[in-house]
């Protein structure tokens, strides 16, 4: 599964979603809905209104989105709630976008990612289908945007990209989840 892991603070995430919107794409928050009707996020203001409700968004673009997403449901507290399972219909690019938290008086940016599955279940034929090449092309554009001006950080066996604006925040005291101060000192060379 192609995946780019990152640390992106608000400004870098806004740059990413603004690019999606500029390309006439949109986001769908992966939420529990009271009816089988999802929200569409097609502006920065709408994105910011959903960041505290959902950490996962599905990125949709006409170049690769071929089929409607499907709904599943479950009952909780006597209410039927609906959600869209990943990998059925679409296809979509997943944007895992946790918000920053405050811990011990410090602002901490969590780990996120953009990714997609090389195959998806067709909502029309119930067959496993290879994702269109256009999805990979769009994913690579997002990947380039995240990497532009940022730096990479290897933690264990995974590589995380620290966004350009996030890097400036780290230099001003923002912390990265699961990254020690010692590790940060090795990558934060003045002038990089």
pTM of the model: 0.92
For residue range 100-124, list pLDDT tens digits in order: 888 888 889 999 999 999 999 998 8
d(CA 150, CA 164): 4
For residue range 8-62, list pLDDT tens digits in order: 999 999 999 999 999 999 999 999 999 999 999 999 999 999 999 999 999 999 9
Q: Residue 75's CB: how many other CB atoms inside 10 A? A: 8
Pick the closest to residue 170 from 147, 189, 156 (CA basis).
Answer: 189
Domain map (residue ranges) of the chain: 3-187
d(CA 117, CA 62): 17
């Amino acid at each position: 599964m192609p995946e780019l892991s990152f640390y992106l603070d608000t400004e870098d995430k806004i740059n990413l979603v603004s690019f999606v919107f500029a390309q006439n794409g949109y986001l769908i928050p992966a939420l529990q809905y009271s009816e089988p009707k999802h929200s569409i996020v097609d502006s920065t203001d709408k994105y910011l209104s959903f960041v505290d409700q959902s950490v996962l968004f599905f990125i949709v673009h006409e170049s690769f989105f071929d089929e409607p997403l499907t709904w599943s449901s479950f009952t909780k507290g006597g209410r039927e709630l609906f959600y869209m399972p990943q990998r059925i219909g679409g296809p979509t690019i997943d944007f895992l976008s946790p918000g920053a938290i405050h811990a011990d008086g410090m602002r901490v940016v969590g780990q996120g990612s953009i990714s997609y599955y090389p195959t998806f279940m067709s909502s029309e034929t119930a067959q496993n289908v290879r994702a269109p090449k256009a999805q990979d092309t769009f994913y690579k554009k997002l990947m380039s945007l995240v990497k532009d001006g940022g730096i990479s950080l290897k933690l264990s066996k995974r590589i995380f990209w620290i966004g350009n604006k996030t890097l400036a925040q780290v230099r001003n005291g923002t912390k990265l989840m699961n990254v020690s101060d010692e590790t940060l000192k090795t990558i934060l060379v003045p002038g990089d």
